[in-house]
Amino acid sequence: MSKRLFEAGLAVYGCAVIAFLILPIIVIIPMSFNAAPVFEVIPSQPSFSQYQRLFNSPEWLTVLWRSVEIAASAMVTSTIIGVLAALGTLRLGSRARSLFEAMLISPQIVPSVVIAASAYYVFALLGLIGSIAGIVIMHALIALPFVLILVQSRLQSINPDFAQASASLGAAPLQTFWLITMPQLRLALIGAAVLAFHVSFDEVVLSLFLSGARTKTLPVKLWDSIMFEVSPLLPAISALVILIPLLVIAPAIWLQRRSKANT
């Protein structure tokens, strides 16, 4: 009896999570397929017209493309730095290592507003305000902790005998890295890169501080239009913001499935 009650309670809890946390996100998708210039969960005039307008709007397309570029650059930057940092910290003694790790992970612990404010100050001195480079740097910074944690945990689970075995067979350290370590790191790397892309693609606070009129990212422009004009394009744009990272994640998941089936 009590078990049944418990299960019923669990079901209610699960439904509540879906209703309050997941549905509000998904609701934006049907809303975007509406020709009527109002926000309706169930579209009264179902159509793709908002998407047509969006893809015919050079203004939005420029911003969308800029965001993709920034996210891709931040992804590459943070992945490279993160992998090197993970390799480096693992070689340190325990005390130095926790110090460096704390430092590298701090961008996710310090509130973004604080980071944004101090970045604003420093970038103002360097003349980086309103530049793409400035945004990429800061996005890479806040994506770094994710890359570091993912890559590091994978690296630690790789048997250290592999590197020694490779050396005993005549491989120089760099060869061992490319031939033995990298292939085993591949999935963690893809995961880290996808996450880094996503972190950058929907980042608002830092971009808000650092972007200029000509370097607005998609979330910043979205923010602006919510504040100043309620455009019927908004649901379509929001849906894209959800879908684009999914498009990046999907192949990663597919790869992961395939390699699991292999072993």
* Calpha distance 75→147 (Å, rounded): 9
Draw the binding track, 27-66, toward another protein (x: CB under 8 A; -: no contact): ----------------------------------------
170 binds another protein (CB under 8 A): yes
Looking at the Cβ atoms of 66 and 154, the one nearer to another protein is: 154
175 binds another protein (CB under 8 A): yes
Backbone angles phi, psi at 34, to 5 degrees: -140, 130
183 binds another protein (CB under 8 A): yes
Backbone angles phi, psi at 40, to 5 degrees: -135, 135
Number of residues that bind another protein (CB under 8 A): 22
180 binds another protein (CB under 8 A): yes
Looking at the Cβ atoms of 47 and 164, the one nearer to another protein is: 164
76 binds another protein (CB under 8 A): no
215 binds another protein (CB under 8 A): no
Min. distance of Cβ 167 from another protein in angstroms?
A: 4
241 binds another protein (CB under 8 A): no
Cβ-based neighbour number of residue 60 at 10 Å: 21
Angle at 247 between CA 246 and CA 253, to 5 degrees: 75
Which residue is listed with tokens 């980086």?
Answer: 128
Contacts of 26 (CB under 8 A, 6+ apart): none
187 binds another protein (CB under 8 A): no
- DSSP character at residue 108: G
161 binds another protein (CB under 8 A): yes
Q: Which of 164, 224, 230, 246 binds another protein (CB under 8 A)?
A: 164
Looking at the Cβ atoms of 74 and 185, the one nearer to another protein is: 185
Q: Distance of CA 202 to CAs 5, 67, 94, 198, Å? A: 41, 9, 35, 6
Q: Distance of CA 24 to CAs 21, 30, 234, Å? A: 6, 11, 15
Give which of 247, 228, 34, 209 is closest to 113, Cα–Cα. 209
Q: Which of 168, 213, 247, 258 binds another protein (CB under 8 A)?
A: 168
121 binds another protein (CB under 8 A): no
**Which amino acid is it at 214?**
R
Looking at the Cβ atoms of 36 and 158, the one nearer to another protein is: 158
Q: How many residues does the chain have?
A: 263
171 binds another protein (CB under 8 A): yes
Q: Which of 5, 42, 174, 247 binds another protein (CB under 8 A)?
A: 174
Q: Distance of CA 227 to CAs 51, 222, 223, 231, 234, Å? A: 21, 9, 6, 10, 11
The footprint of another protein (CB under 8 A) covers: 159, 161-162, 164-176, 179-180, 183-184, 262-263
